A and B are shown apart, each in its own frame.
Chain A
């Protein structure tokens, strides 16, 4: 599942999955390349510093672009006077809201990239300059005079929902409530999911636990700040180089905001230094294009880390209530949750995804979830790995853990007893196809970690989690080169080694060695539209397109061989990288290798290629279960992660190294979210920790090795059985760690992050309560 981050509040919700393709069990039983661990094609460039990321591009005559940002969290912009800045020697262009025409298709994106009537958060862009050097550009920013009328602000989700809160947008009338409100508020939408009768379900329960939870907003924390270089010609022919998870999406939005034809804007995705959902959206690119158009020269904009924190999208903060009932023998009779997420200054907090995934691990007769998408004076949120799910699952899995203890049942057994499986109706609507939750739970139970002994002040937590996964629009090309090598072009930026997986799948299908295949990420003028690298879709969708393109090339090569042998094409089969006569009746010919067919392609009909374009469906859900041992220092409240194990269903691991890497990376981000990371706002509505020193992400000395177990329950909707693996790994850690810390500290932790002061306070409060 993926949300187009720049569409106004429009999550993509598919009720029924009708897979585009089917699992090929026979093929999967004899893989030769799939499942191996070769070096990635871009690896050498990355260990030597040759790889070019967003900020590494230089175009001739390039100017430096800088953005002026609002110091106020909420203010009317009465006037902007840039005349002095424009007059400064070396300044080649200044742009403000007046340089962008209103745009109904991308109204929120436009408002976010350049403030219009109001500045809606500290860091909101209000003007930009392009100058011959950074010092000149900096000086120019200081010369821009903005007259603000400061308004009251709100940054907390519950406060933003109160009737007296300052209202950000006077055109937001809450959707999904009946009757519709008559007045604007900060609540964008209410949505509801579930089935059965929860009141009847709670009536059957022997034990019911109801709790409230909160989580802080966290940032994706990619190490590479957003950067781009734009070059707009006088005739409108434009090029844009940028680090993005979706260059086709960037092209679409930028062309629309700039009012130029899509065909005139060629966007190249640079190497990308992390994204995790945060680079699925557009922040600086239209500004750079507008500056370049005005200056008539290329313009580079590279965000600073401060800007990344203040003005690119973090994930939502949440406030949640969860109530679950269970019988003495461990059957969950009903589940209820209310999830209130703030997603910054514009619609789109992933509360609905949170509500949909909250109970997804359980096959329940009675379940209901409600979601509220709320705006506040914070930067426009962006997707962050399984957007919305880690928080709601934290709340649900905490209560499940507590219920297991209450009825004296092993927490894995309780989960196994209620686990979602094939045919079960999911809490968000559709029935599950084949899926691997039970397998991950069983693997967790059997894992030595689960039965290892614990030391003093240590506690073990487990939790399961889920993500929908997504397919989407995809287009890939494959060319057979004259020397018998193969080049693949995909349209999905490679964020974690996916080019290696593409090469593996093509090599498998064509029957040639991995190192004969090279994959590139093509620019937007070279391929048809591709959805963004998001929703754990790339290895699934682009991979399937590569498989289909390979099959098309194989068909063509068989045809060429048939031509060379002068037999019917149907009488040729493809085996181990060679065309062969399909049987004794077809004739007696020596097999022709891919290289041999390629070498003579010019004489048999010209270049040989394959391509595939489709809208991929059948992505196949992914479940995971995490086990973590935590140690709590009762004196300071500091939590250490002692041991960590990730068990997740990958369907089929194409390149196991990078599957493990996704598991480990998701767990590490979850550890940061659970223990340290948080957006801290002062009463002044300003972010107090916009830097890596104060927004503390896990470093190497904070973490143990992270063990992984790859479970493979084939996805019936992919020829090799692939399921996306990128996102599920961040869903269980918040809950697993909170369960571990709660066990170690002897008190239920209901607020994240579990930073030392918060843990210490919980311990002290529990002591006071016990006295």
Chain B
């Protein structure tokens, strides 16, 4: 097995690693870099628990090879709070009790933040469709949708 050398940026920091050809970005994050905030729920692009951004674009890290991160900017759940200051999406998820087990939460935070950066004033239906790639089995989504709508309102300054 010959490793591939990759130079990339994760949450703004320069990172280098050597990965196997078959390793996904999610494997690299979790197993090589110890960044276990991104979760593996399916490894097939169906649950969104592994959501990251690649050059700002929402991506399932289980569907991308570690080698493909070369020269890109990766954003993960670990980079969303600024020190102790939570992003409004994180804060509103807490305020709305929009989690039960919480294993889906990192994926929802990454995905919702990406939505609100693209579309600061989404309708409930738009939020529901944008987040349709993120499975939550515990909450029935009700409180999650409310949290994202609340965060959007706060970010717009309402």
Interface residues of A (CB under 8 A from B): 37, 39-40, 42-53, 55-56, 58, 134-135, 220-225, 271-276, 302, 304-305, 495-497, 655, 657-658, 660-662, 664-665, 667-669, 691-693, 697-703, 705-706
Could you tell me how many residues of chain B have their Cβ less than 8 Å away from some Cβ of chain A?
61
A223-B101, A700-B131, A700-B132 known, 18 other contacts, Cβ within 8 Å: A46-B99, A46-B105, A47-B81, A223-B41, A273-B101, A273-B102, A273-B103, A274-B138, A302-B40, A657-B96, A657-B97, A665-B100, A665-B137, A692-B41, A692-B42, A702-B132, A703-B128, A705-B146
A56 contact set on B, CB distance < 8 A: 30, 36
List of A residues within 8 angstroms of B27 by Cβ: 134
Q: Which of A51, A220, A302, A700 contacts B144 (CB 8 A)?
A: A700
Chain A proximity of B1: nearest CB distance (Å): 6
Q: How many A-B residue pairs have CB under 8 A?
A: 187
Residue contact A48 to B95, C-beta cutoff 8 Å: no
Which residue in B41, B129, B145 is a CB contact (below 8 Å) of A305? B41
- Chain B, residues 90-112, CB within 8 Å of chain A (1/0): the string is 11011111011111111001000
Q: Which of A48, A51, A693, A705 touches B81 (beta carbons < 8 Å)?
A: A48
Q: Does B77 contact A (CB under 8 A)?
A: yes
Q: Contact at B94–A44, with CB atoms within 8 Å?
A: yes
- B140 near A53 (CB under 8 angstroms)? no
Q: Are B46 and A693 in contact (CB under 8 A)?
A: yes
Residues of B contacting A655 with CB < 8 Å?
Answer: 97
Q: Which 10 pairs, one residue from A and one from B, show the smallest C-beta to C-beta distance?
A: A49-B37, A273-B103, A46-B102, A668-B140, A657-B97, A664-B140, A692-B46, A49-B77, A496-B100, A56-B36
Rounded to whole Å, the gap between the CB of B68 and the closest CB of chain A is 19
A346 to B44, CA, bound (A): 30
Measured CB to CB, the closest approach of chain B to A505, in angstroms, equals 17
Residues of A contacting B: mostly = loop
Q: Does B63 contact A (CB under 8 A)?
A: no
Decide yes or no: A665 and B138 within 8 Å by CB, A657-B97, A692-B46 being known contacts.
yes
Closest CB of chain A to B67's CB: distance in Å?
15
Q: Is the CB of B139 within 8 A of A305?
A: no
| Contact status A665-B139, CB under 8 Å | yes
When distances are taken between beta carbons in the complex, the residues of chain A under 8 Å from B96 are 657
Contact across chains for A49 and B44 when beta carbons are under 8 A apart? no
B141 close to A (CB within 8 Å) = yes
- Candidate in A42, A224, A225, A658 with the most chain B CB atoms within 10 angstroms: A224
Q: Can you list 17 A-B contacts (CB < 8 A)? A: A43-B93, A46-B99, A47-B94, A48-B37, A224-B101, A274-B138, A658-B100, A661-B97, A661-B138, A664-B139, A668-B140, A691-B42, A699-B131, A699-B135, A699-B141, A701-B128, A705-B145
Q: Which residues between 65 and 91 of chain B lie within 8 Å of chain A, taking CB atoms?
A: 76-78, 80-81, 86, 90-91
Q: Which residues of the partner chain A approach B42 to less than 8 Å between Cβ atoms?
A: 305, 691-692
| Chain A proximity of B89: nearest CB distance (Å) | 8
